[in-house]
Amino acid sequence: MSPEAVKESPVLMPQAPWLAQKIHSRSELHYGWWIVVTTMALMFVSVGVGYYGLAIFMKQFEDSFEWSSTLVGLATGSYFSIAGLTGLLVGPQIDRHGPRWFMTGGVAMLGLGIMSLGAISRPWHLFLVYSIMAAGFGATAAVSVNNILGRWFLTRRARAMSITATGVSLGGVVLSPLTTWLISSHSLALAGLLLGIVVLFVGLPIASGVLVWRPEDLGTSRDFGQPLKIANKNLSDSVQYRVWTRAQALRQPSFWYILLAFLFVLTAQTGYMIHQFSFLADRFGDLRSASLTMSLAAAGSIVARLIVGRFADYIDKRLFTAVLFAVQATAVLGITFTKDNFLTWVLVLVIGLTIGNVYMMQTLLIAETFGVVSLATVQGAITVAVQMAAGFGPFLVGWAKESTGEYTVPFLVTSLMTYIAAVVVCFARPVVVNCGDDR
């Protein structure tokens, strides 16, 4: 394969939205910053409700309908599985056509699904509404957003992703206590209606009018218009603009090491996170203290992301990810056995410091290994497996908790899985491009 063939991309040239062209022509700010700020706002509403809200909804369904943790955990597991499957299906299309209309439709489905939460009264209602929300979430969040950021940023990719992902944590800080207050003071129906409106009001204009797939579509350049010197060979054009089909990526050992590592860690992390609210409510004895503690974890993830984003472009991402996993596993292990409320707060904060960066490092490892031209294709293939496995983390934790009567055993298992992930990720070495190999 020649260098020219390596750089060739089978993508189409979409027209930038009218609103984006208007902003670009009138603003002195490089449009890359508009991409960062608006994707941050989109993640704030979509992940703030579509991820952090699930733990609060779980507690509400258990208390209001006396449904078991196993049942609600199974519904939550199906949510993550459907979201991952959506990413798999739309990933190649996003790489070819851009994510604009997928994100617009996803925001609409997510918002309307959230507005329907108050209509749930039977288990099959829960599965139906969660399916709609999950499909919207899968089309709106990680795969689509990371595809855009990967094309707009190269040597500043970690910094851009860390700022954008701050929206995720802000969603936990702001929307978790707001959701808890709305449900406890009013009703789930009112909470769902208002949160769904917020998702639609914020998300639709951004997805359909502001986001631009690539800097070339506006005639501008990446990395805020000031590209740094590339010292990392994995950021060269021969790697970043290499076209991968799903079958070609599947033949790479690094694909499987990344998949297995994040399958283990995200199954464990999701199982813990969805049950964290119930666990903390039992420990502290009230819902508001549990909600505030979750906000502390989300606030910690904001600080951690911004700090990591400053140096992640210059370090060995595999080793840093392994350390990140080990710290999270140790913190979950500690919170399982301590009975001290202050130490619980500290350990929840430590867990929060790791959670957001786990997702960011997954994208950075995939992008550095397989490039950005086929990022959605490769990430979609990894995400579906990881999400389907991780989706059953809440179910498994709920089942183990009901079987043993407490969270000790399931949290011990999640810690062990995270330690295993820390070892596996070290083997995910970057793919060496051989221009004479057309695969």
Beta-carbon contacts of residue 432 (< 8 Å; ≥ 6 apart): none
pLDDT for the residue 275: 85
Instruction: Report all structural domains of the chain as residue ranges with CATH numbers, in order of start.
Output: 14-225+235-427 (1.20.1250.20)
Beta-carbon contacts of residue 302 (< 8 Å; ≥ 6 apart): 166, 169, 170, 173, 356
CB 399 within 8 A of CB 77: no
Q: What is the pLDDT of residues 89-117, one digit of tens each?
A: 887 888 788 888 999 999 999 999 999 99
Helices (H), 171-311: 176-185, 188-205, 237-240, 246-250, 253-284, 287-311
Q: Residue 231 class from Cβ within 10 Å (0-12 exposed, 13-18 middle, 19+ buried)?
A: exposed
pLDDT for the residue 135: 94
Q: Does the pLDDT at position 321 exceed 90?
A: yes
How far apart, in whole angstroms, are the C-alpha atoms of residue 179 and residue 114? 12
Mean pLDDT value of segment 239-261:
83
For helices 142-152 and 100-115, what crossing angle results, to 10°? 150
CA distances 417 to 265, 266, 272, 366, 398, Å, are: 6, 9, 12, 21, 16
Q: Does the pLDDT at position 78 exceed 60?
A: yes
pLDDT for the residue 27: 86
- The structure tokens listed for 53 are 């809200």
- Predicted model pTM: 0.72
Which range has the top average pLDDT, 90-99, 106-115, 278-287, 389-398?
A: 106-115
Q: Does the pLDDT at position 392 exceed 90?
A: no
Q: What is the pLDDT of residues 204-224, one digit of tens each?
A: 999 999 999 888 888 888 777
* Higher-confidence position of 372 and 406: 406
Q: Does the pLDDT at position 144 exceed 60?
A: yes
pLDDT for the residue 245: 79
Least confident of 74-83, 155-164, 316-325: 155-164
pLDDT for the residue 193: 95
How far apart, in whole angstroms, are the C-alpha atoms of residue 419 and residue 44? 30
How far apart, in whole angstroms, are the C-alpha atoms of residue 365 and residue 357? 12
Sign of the Cα torsion 91, 357, 44, 21 reads: negative
Q: What is the pLDDT of residues 149-203, one digit of tens each?
A: 888 887 777 788 888 888 887 887 788 889 989 998 889 999 999 999 999 999 9
Could you tell me the pLDDT band of residue 130, with boundaries at 50, 70 and 90? very high
Mean pLDDT, the chain, integer: 83
Could you tell me the pLDDT band of residue 423, with boundaries at 50, 70 and 90? very high
pLDDT for the residue 5: 40
Could you tell me the pLDDT band of residue 8, with boundaries at 50, 70 and 90? very low
Cα 436-437-439 angle, rounded to 5 deg: 160
* Higher-confidence position of 276 and 11: 276
Count the alpha carbons within 13 Å of 33 in the hemisphere toward its beta carbon: 9
Could you tell me the pLDDT band of residue 12, with boundaries at 50, 70 and 90? very low
How far apart, in whole angstroms, are the C-alpha atoms of residue 167 and residue 199? 13
pLDDT for the residue 248: 87
Share of the chain above pLDDT 70, in %: 90
* Higher-confidence position of 62 and 375: 62
How far apart, in whole angstroms, are the C-alpha atoms of residue 171 and residue 26? 30
